[in-house]
Amino acid sequence: MSSPILLRGSIRRRLIIQLLVGAALLATLMFLVVQRYARDLAGQSQDEILAASVTAILDSAAVRQGDLTVDIPYFAFSMLGNISEDRVFYAIRRNGSFLTGYPDLPKPFAASGSTPRFQTDTYDGEDIRMATATRRLSVEGQPDFIEVTVAQTRYGLRQQLAAISQTVAGFGIGFFVLSALFGILAAQSAIRPLRRLAESVSRRGLADLRPVSAPVPAEMEALVRALNGFMSRLKTSLTRSEDLIAEAAHRVRTPLATVRTQAEITLRRVDKPENRQAVREMIRAIDESSRAAGQLLDHAMVSFRSDHLELEDVEIARLVRETVDRVHPTADLRDIDLVLRLPEATMRVKGDPILMQSALLNLLDNAIKYSPADSCVHVSARITDQEAVITVRDEGAGFPKTDMGRLTRRFVRGSNTDAVVGSGLGLTIAHEVARAHGGRLFLTNHNEEGGACASLSFPLA
């Protein structure tokens, strides 16, 4: 029925992916920035404590009895042990020559001044951070430079950084998961109006071509406008073609009546059996055409009235009786009894009596057409909690089981109906009338041997 729809991408998926990528980028950025900041901070605190150590040692340098002494204070090193369990190295040089400590410690960059300078180097196969400061003393009138270097490995720093990284990574992942969740929710809610519109359009009846009236977000204005315009054009074109069909049917029917009369006159004049047969077939074809034209007109009428439904109180029993009266002559022709069974109670529904009559007429017409001669067609009405149901049952072959679902479509005929004149519009008309009234048409077979059974239901007033 519907051609396959080509799909390329998904708005929701694209939205989610874009939001996820954004969130991942943000989370990574946050991680890198915080980690960088933490590294600077941790490095800074190590530098500060190294500087304090160097200063403490320099402060202990003094000239005693004409000679330079350096008395390393205990806390100069013990404070380095307070923040981490890093290895500590030091070197004290006097006028550039080694005095005490670790002689092979890397030489600091040449510089002077008492503010400590820092550098990163390797010693004994490990990364170290070094702080160096120089102080000028005067020994017996001669300038004397003392240079102190204190170095520390960077385990503590790395451990601290690893711990911070882990925490920040946890935060980053949490942030990502949270924003991913929000992203998915946002994507869902963004496409919800679209899905709602699609649902409301697909829920519509075939003939419902009214414009969309529910409010939609601004972004969908163009789509809805286009959809409404399209539907209105479709409706115009549909109406025009129905008008055309009705007009055509009407124009065909009148000349056909004339042709039929002429054919019957001719039949009476013809004697040769083969000629008579040809004329009979001609008449039959004319009947078929005429009937089809009639039903096309009926259908056009039903379509029109369904679109502009004018409801009034309808009494079901009276409607059934009147309609059955109208088909009596046809039934009599084939010796078919119309058995009527109606309840005592009044059954009132809101409806268009002309449409309802047309629907029932079509069902009765079908029943009589497909019944064997000299049989009964049973017409009954009953009332349930919410609806009034009119049932027409014949004693014919019944509906072919395989066709049940599609018999109400236009111009679809049962697979066992070749011998009978018909257009395939009767059940369609009944179906459309029932639907216009909020009711249903349902088709069953009475029993295994057949006997088609068609029921029309209308909701009670």
Partner 1 sequence: MRKSVLSLGLIVLGAILGLLLGPLAAPAQAFEIEDQISVGPADARRVLRVLSTGDAELFEETIRDFLATLPDVRVDYIVASSAELMRAVGNGDAKADLVMSSATDLQTKLVNDGRAQRYSSPVTSRLPDWARWRDHLFAFTQEPAAIVLSRKALADLPMPENRQELIALMRDHPERFQGKVGTYDIRASGLGYLFATQDARTSETFWRLSEVMGSLGVKLYCCSSQMIEEVSDGRLAVAYNVLGSYARANGDPAEVVVMLPQDYTIIMLRTAFIPRESTQPGLAGLFIDHLISRGWQAAPGAVSVAEENAWTDEAQALRRIRMGPGLLVYLDALKKAAFLAEWSSAILQ
Residues that bind partner 1 (CB under 8 A): 69-78, 80-81, 85-88, 92, 99-101, 124-126, 155
Cβ-based nearer residue to partner 1, 67 or 247: 67
Q: What letter does residue 396 receive in the DSSP assignment? A: S
C-alpha distances in Å from residue 161, one per residue of 38, 84, 154, 345, 426: 7, 13, 10, 90, 84
Neighbours of 251 (CB within 10 A): 11
Cβ-based nearer residue to partner 1, 60 or 239: 60
Cβ-based nearer residue to partner 1, 101 or 183: 101
What sign for the dihedral angle of Cα 149, 152, 154, 156? negative
Least distance from C-beta 97 to partner 1, angstroms? Answer: 14
Least distance from C-beta 60 to partner 1, angstroms? Answer: 10
Least distance from C-beta 111 to partner 1, angstroms? Answer: 24
Separation CA 110–CA 91 (nearest Å): 15
Least distance from C-beta 81 to partner 1, angstroms? Answer: 3
Cβ-based nearer residue to partner 1, 130 or 197: 130
Q: State phi, psi for 318 to the nearest 5 degrees.
A: -70, -40
Break the chain down into helix, strand, coil percent, rounded to 5.
55, 20, 25
Over its C-alpha atoms, the chain yields an Rg (Å, rounded) of 50
- 3-state SS, 352-381, equals CHHHHHHHHHHHHHHHHHHCCCCCEEEEEE
Least distance from C-beta 99 to partner 1, angstroms? Answer: 7
Give alpha helix (H) positions in 79-217: 80-83, 155-203
Separation CA 21–CA 32 (nearest Å): 16
Least distance from C-beta 162 to partner 1, angstroms? Answer: 15
Least distance from C-beta 68 to partner 1, angstroms? Answer: 10
Cβ-based nearer residue to partner 1, 69 or 262: 69
Cβ-based nearer residue to partner 1, 47 or 242: 47
Give alpha helix (H) positions in 204-220: none
Least distance from C-beta 74 to partner 1, angstroms? Answer: 5
Cβ-based nearer residue to partner 1, 86 or 352: 86
Separation CA 455–CA 443 (nearest Å): 6
- Strand ranges (E), 49-125: 61-64, 67-70, 88-94, 97-101, 117-123
Cβ-based nearer residue to partner 1, 156 or 400: 156
